[in-house]
Amino acid sequence: MSETARLADQIRRAFEGEAWHGDSVLELLSGVIAAQAAGKPIPNAHSIWELVLHIAAWDGAVLHRTAGASVTLSDDENFPSVKDTSEAAWEKTKEAVKQTHDDLVKAVAVFPDSRLNEQVPGKTESYYNFYYMFSGIVQHELYHAGQIALLKKFH
């Protein structure tokens, strides 16, 4: 198995399941309704919904970077606000993040191992290569999965 296939598998596990640490993002979102997702039970903390949009934004950024784009998210793109809190909008949000994530996993799985040490477009830090970014997106998903798990306990 190639190194990028292994990285893609780790990205998939953090989001979809069979993760070593426990529940993945999707497992945590199971049974969460729109009102719960939009709720802010902890003052000055993001909602579950905002975290899901944030995960989608960064999965999309990494996906675009694999294609050679230099991507920097604005504050509004980094944590998009939730305007429509209906169940239909929540379902649409979940489907969109799943699709973006699936596209990312597929892109990483076919990314050439020979390019893992290449600098990510737009990044000036010497350590910021594709391997670092792909490993980092796993860490990112798990970090926010922990936040979602805590937010669920407050509902």
Over residues 89-105, mean pLDDT: 98
Report yes or no: 52 and 97 within 8 Å, Cβ to Cβ: yes
Q: How far apart are CA 58 and CA 71, in angstroms?
A: 10
- Any long-range contacts for 18-22 (C-beta under 8 Å, 24+ apart)? 19/142, 21/142
The number of distinct structural domains making up the chain is 1
Q: pLDDT tens for residues 32-64?
A: 999 999 999 999 999 999 999 999 999 999 999
What percent of the chain clears pLDDT 70, i.e. is strictly above it? 100
Q: List the Cα angle 18/52/44 in 5-degree steps.
A: 120
* pLDDT above 90: percentage of residues in the chain: 94
CATH of residue 82 = 1.20.120.450
User: With the CA atoms of 147, 28, 94 and 57 taken in that order, what torsion angle do they form, in degrees rounded to the nearest 10?
Assistant: 30
Domain of 48 in residue numbering reads as 3-153
